[in-house]
Homo-oligomer: A and B are copies of this chain.
Amino acid sequence: MELSAAMPSPSTESAPTERADARGVLEAHGALARRYRQVRERTERLLAPLSSEDCQVQSMPDASPAKWHAAHTSWFFETFVLAPRLAGYRAFDASYAYLFNSYYDSVGPRVARDRRGLLTRPALAEVLRYREHVDRHVARLCAEAELPPELCDVLEVGLNHEEQHQELFLTDLKHALAQNPREPAYAPAPEGPRGPRAPRAPAAPLAFVPYAGGLVEIGHAGAGFAFDNERPRHRVFLEPFELASRAVTNAEFLEFVRAGGYAEPRLWLSDGWAERERGGWSAPLYWREQDGEWSSFTLAGRRPLDPTEPVVHVSYYEAEAYAAWAGARLPTEAEWEHAASGVAPDGHFQDSGRYHPAPAAHDPSGRPAALFGDVWEWTASAYAAYPGFEPWRGSLGEYNGKFMANQMVLRGGSCASPAGHLRASYRNFFHPHARWQFSGVRLAR
């Protein structure tokens, strides 16, 4: 996922008749304003436990400082909503256009991505004032009687954008804290239904659920929000396939490790093996073995490896090698989406406060369990344009399209995704060597 977002798809904008009477509009405004407040407050709640120092650091070029996430998401509203739409709006600080642009070439030049951690000024406190400033002006805009549909659409994009950054915030923070030899915790692990660290029964045996395939449709359809890369809905022909009933667990992945999976090049893609050697990988990111005991760093600190949880923080290469070893393969994104259509996008998300996958669920009905939440599931599909893909118009056209090379699609969201953010057609994407995301493995065959 390359973050910072985009304009509504062509059709919705131009369909004013779908937007009903004035009263409906006002209610819609009210709902949008409420959602705006909720999303923005969630970001600030996530920041609350951290010191200014925690929010400053950038632990690698791919990750961004927490402070930068907080500022950039505000810059997004300022740039795409306030500046063009609120008469007389004056930027909070002219330099922010340069400091907090992520990658919008059409908006202008910017600080190089790997130098975000060098910006000690503005301080976190000033960034929080910036957020407040932007919020006050968005509220003023929302209070206006006539909120044009396109504007609602861009606001909705901005909110989805901020939700994506909420996940990245947790992901990047975890990486940053893990660099500290003291391995500090971000938040204690909550007790509760999916949380306690007590001994528990092994995960349900892995089963494969059959699908007949045929000519199916994937991609977003209907009126709700979706990113441009989920469109248009289109037909795909699928051979019959089977999808695993749950994600691969730590216990299963540990078997692969112990069987020498990281020492056998024949299991790996050629580029994957090279990456393994470059990085010295011998287990998933954040795993460590000491005196025969395996543990894993989590946002609640280092903990013994729970065999029943889905494995997380594996690259595409590791997922693929595991599948080869297990005599299976990864699903394509079309297979995954087909299996997920009609399934409610419920699951274990960020709002649990656990920030770590929960033990593997089991669906007694025999359907694949936990397709949504817990861990992003790598697919065998390279991220590419759907037939007839049209990027959003204007600068927001840079949101998704320009990343369509060298990345693999992940589906389903994770324990770090905000609840309500996911849907069956949602496409996340990362380079195949990326491991710092909450990414796991679901097999197919």
> Which residues of A are in contact with B by a Cβ distance under 8 Å?
2, 51-57, 59, 67, 95, 98-99, 103, 105-106, 111, 115, 117-121, 123-124, 176-177, 179-182, 184, 215, 234-239, 241, 265-266, 268-272, 316-317, 320, 329, 380-382, 384-385, 387-388, 398, 402-406, 408, 432
Contact = CB atoms under 8 A, between A and B. Distances in A.
A275 to B, nearest CB: 10
A406 B432 contact: yes
Nearest to A265: B105
Given A111-B181, A234-B239, A120 B402 contact: no
Given A124-B53, A215-B215, A265-B105, A118 B180 contact: yes
A179, A235, A236, A402 — which one has the most chain B CB atoms within 10 A of its CB? A402
Closest 4 CB pairs of A and B: A382-B382, A52-B52, A53-B120, A118-B179
B121 A182 contact: yes
A181 B95 contact: yes
B235 A237 contact: yes
Given A56-B56, A120-B180, A235-B237, 16 more contacts: A51-B123, A53-B123, A54-B121, A57-B117, A99-B182, A103-B270, A105-B265, A115-B179, A239-B388, A268-B402, A269-B403, A270-B402, A329-B385, A380-B385, A405-B408, A406-B406
Contacts of A404: 269
A308 B369 CA distance: 58
Contacts of A385: 329, 380
A250 to B, nearest CB: 25
Contacts of A384: 380-382
Contacts of A317: 405
Contacts of A57: 56, 117-118, 120
A297 to B, nearest CB: 14
Given A56-B53, A270-B403, A432-B405, A118 B176 contact: yes
A56 B184 contact: no
A81 B384 CA distance: 41
Contacts of A408: 405
Contacts of A123: 51-53
A432 B239 CA distance: 29
A2 B270 contact: yes
Contact of A120 (B119, B176, B380): B176
Contacts of A52: 51-53, 56, 123
Contact of A181 (B56, B99, B237): B99
A312 to B, nearest CB: 21
B380 A239 contact: no
11 contacts: A51-B121, A52-B56, A53-B121, A53-B123, A57-B118, A119-B179, A239-B387, A241-B387, A270-B403, A271-B405, A406-B406
